[in-house]
Amino acid sequence: MAVSRAIGVLGGSFNPPHLGHLAIAADACSQLDLEQVVFVPAGAPPHKDIADNVPAAVRLEMTRLAVAGDERFSVSAVEIDLGLRFTSDTLAELHRRHAGRALAFIAGSDALLQFATWHEPATILDLALLAVAPRPGDDLHAVQAAAARWGAGRVVVLSSVTIGVSSSMIRGRVRAGQPIRYLVPPAVAGFIADSGLYHARRS
């Protein structure tokens, strides 16, 4: 009998989703031998406000556009539909929906460094492997040390490509009338331009 492969979970505001998100998901798929990565746009994240008050439905649509055509990726509206705010609750629901499947929660190294302040971090680690993607300029020794504090085999640091792009950068470039081509998937750039998001003047 074939052994079921784990499912990756990548959460975020996705305001907007960009090529960095896709690169991290692809690296996690490869290095952890994941069957798929589920992108989970946040409804109302507890740690920050949604910039520009972009509605959840709009961020969900952009995320679907971003992953379209890649069979490794899918999108779940679980946090939006159920009003979930904490990662532990999201993982518990996904664990229920994918009974018997191991989960890997994918996050940036900034999340790892703040992980002790998260809601029920021990529960998160009980429900999923924490897979950490380094960010540009990271001290990898410090990231590895932070991972080790949570116990052997509970946190893994990915050998992930580091791309110096962020959602806040994209929003700023749109407001400044600067191009975002090659920073977001073409369908996302078109959506932003067509809908006038972030005071877009051109894509």
Give the start-end residues of each E strand in the chain.
7-12, 36-41, 73-75, 103-108, 129-133, 155-157
> 16 preceded by cis ω (within 30°)?
yes
**Is the pLDDT confidence value at 201 over 60?**
no
- Over residues 105-132, the pLDDT tens digits come to 999 999 999 999 999 999 999 999 999 9
Residue % of the chain over a pLDDT of 90: 82
d(CA 27, CA 159): 8
Please report which confidence band the pLDDT of residue 136 belongs to, taking 50, 70 and 90 as the band edges.
Answer: confident
The three-class DSSP label of residue 182 is: coil
Please report which confidence band the pLDDT of residue 162 belongs to, taking 50, 70 and 90 as the band edges.
Answer: confident
**Summary mean pLDDT of the chain:** 92
Identify the weakest region by mean pLDDT among 5-14, 56-65, 86-95, 191-200. 191-200
CA nearest 4: which of 35, 36, 41, 28? 35
pLDDT at position 202 is 43
Structural domain spans, the chain: 7-163
d(CA 183, CA 22): 11
What is the DSSP secondary structure assignment for residue 2, as one 8-state letter? P
Q: Distance from first CA to last CA of the chain, Å, rounded?
A: 49
d(CA 49, CA 86): 14
Written as one string, the DSSP assignment of 51-65 is GGG--HHHHHHHHHH
CA 115, chain centre distance (Å): 15
- Report the top-level CATH class of 7-163: alpha beta
pLDDT at position 36 is 96
Dihedral pair phi/psi, residue 140, rounded to 5°: -65, -30
